[in-house]
Amino acid sequence: MSDVRVRFAPSPTGTLHIGSARTALYNFLFARHNGGTMVLRIEDTDRKRSRRDHESSIIRDLHWLGLQADEGPDVGGPYGPYRQSERTEFYEAGVRRLLESGWAYPCFCTQERLDALKEQQLARGEMPKYDRLCLHLPAETVRARLEAGEEAAIRFKVPAGDVSFEDLIHGPITFSSEVIGDFIIKRTDGGFAYNYAVVIDDAGMKITHVIRGEDHITNTARQLMLYQALGEPAPVYGHHSLIHGPDGGKLSKRHGATSIGEFRDMGYLAPAVVNYLALLSWHPGDEREKFSLAELVAEFDLARVSRSPAIFDLDKLNWLNGLYIRELSPAALSEQVRPYLHEEGIELADGQREVVSAAIQPNLVVLEDAPRYARLFVDDLILSASVHLEALHETGVESVLALFKDALAATTGEYLDLETAKAVLHQVAEAGKARGIKGKAIYKPLRVALTGLDQGPELSYLVAGLGRSRIEQRVDAALAYLAEREGA
C-alpha cells in the first residue's frame, strides 16, 4: 500500500465546512497509515463563485488542523497544476480521445428542446434522460454544423449493462446504465462537467483511492464508465456518511457554527477538533475517546467507518476541547487566550499572565470563555454589590483580614509567585488556628473580600494573580465595610 495516493478536492466557493474537513481528515489518516501521499486539488471550475481568498482560507484551515497535503497548489508536486482552472489542456486532450474513439459526440440540442423532452418523459412516467438524437446525425452533417460555428456540447455515450464496484465502506454497489442518459462532459460555454474533470484529474494525478461523502455515490457509475472508455485504471472508492445535526437534518447554519474557521475563532483547539471529527462515524473498537493525530494515524481503518449518519454532538466536542485545554501548560494557555482577552480590553501584566491562565484553566470549555473568568483579576470590585457579604459578618473576620495583610506585607514584589502565595495562606491559617479560627471561617471571608464571590479559583491563584496593590485595595474595602457596619 506504499503507492497509495488519495486526494482532497474542495471547491473554493466558501470556507472549509466541518463535513469537508472530516473528508480531508479521513484521506489524510488513510494516506499516512499506509505510507502514501495526500494530494490537495482545488476544483475551481465554478467561475462565478470560486475565489482565491476562499482557497487560501481552506489551505490555512487545513494547516491549522495539521492536515498538510504532500502535493497541492501551495506546495507543488509532479502531477500539477493542482487547480482545475489551470488544467484545461488535459480536459481538451481527453475530449479529443473520447471523440476519436467514438465514446463521445457533439450535441446541438437547445436547452428548450431538452426541457421539453424531460417534461414529455415525466408525463409518460419515464426516467428523464437524453434520447440520443444527435448521436445518429451523419458525420458530414456534424462537421458542417461545427464549421458553420454552431454551438455544441459534447456528450459521453453511455455503454449498455450494469456498472458495479466494491465500496470500501458500503460494500458491493451496482448501477444500471438504463437509468443514466448520455451525459455532457463539455458544455457549450467551453466549461467541463464535474464528473468528467474529476476523472481526468484523478487519472492524471495517479489517484489510487477516492474517499469522499456518500452524496457522491451516484457519481461513481458515470466516472467508472469514463475510466473504461479512456482505458485508465479506476481508483478504489469509499463513501463515508454525511454529518447530520441533532434534529437528524443535514448539518447546516441553523445548527450553529459549521466551518472550521468559526470553531477556531471561538477558541476550539485544533487537536480537539481533529479528535472529534475522527470519531464521527469511526472508532477503533475500544472505549477510548481521546486520540492524538499520531494515534489516529496508527489506528485508522476504513473498515471501522460506520455507514450510519454521523450526528454532530456539540456537548461531546466541548468535553473533548476542555480536556485538551486542561492539558496545556500555563505558558501555552496564556498565549492562546491573550487575543481573546485583548479583544475584551483585558491586558494582564507580565507577572499575571501564567498564574491567571492557570487559575481559569479548569473553567474553560473554549478559549473565548477566558475573558469572563479573567475579569475577576482586573476589574474594580464594588463589594457592596456582592450577595455574599454575609461571610464577612462572621466572628473574627477582622482578625483574619489583618493577619492576611501582615503576611502579605512580609513579601516583596507586585505579583507573588504561586509558592509564595501558598506560603502566605499557610501562615494565615496557622495564625488563625492559634486564635481558634480555622478552615471555612478563614478561607470563605478571605475569598469574599478578594472577589466578592463565595467560590472561584483556588485562593493561592487569587493571591498570586491579583497583585499586591489590588489585594490591598480590596482587603481595605472589606475592612472599611466591617467598620461601617459596626458603627451603624
Q: Which residues are catalytic?
A: 253
Q: Measuring CA to CA, which residue among 346, 380, 374 is closest to residue 474?
A: 380
Question: Could you give the CA distance from residue 159 to residue 395 in angstroms, rounded to a whole number?
Answer: 94
Q: Are strands 37-40 and 310-311 parallel, antiparallel or unpaired?
A: unpaired
- The single residue listed with the C-alpha cell 470563605 is 444
Question: Could you give the CA distance from residue 407 to residue 417 in angstroms, rounded to a whole number?
Answer: 14
Copy the grid coordinates of residue 135. 448521436
Q: Where are the beta strands (DSSP E) in 307-442?
A: 310-311
Question: Could you give the CA distance from residue 418 to residue 463 in angstroms, rounded to a whole number?
Answer: 8
Q: Are strands 153-156 and 104-107 parallel, antiparallel or unpaired?
A: antiparallel
- The single residue listed with the C-alpha cell 434534529 is 247
377 contacts 359 by C-beta, under 8 angstroms: yes
What are the Cα distances from residue 96, in Å, to 99, 101, 152, 161, 230? 5, 8, 14, 25, 11
- 3-class state of residue 105 by DSSP: strand
Chain Cα centroid distance, residue 296:
16
Question: Could you give the CA distance from residue 455 to residue 426 in angstroms, rounded to a whole number?
Answer: 19
Q: What's the first-to-final CA gap in the chain, in angstroms?
A: 84
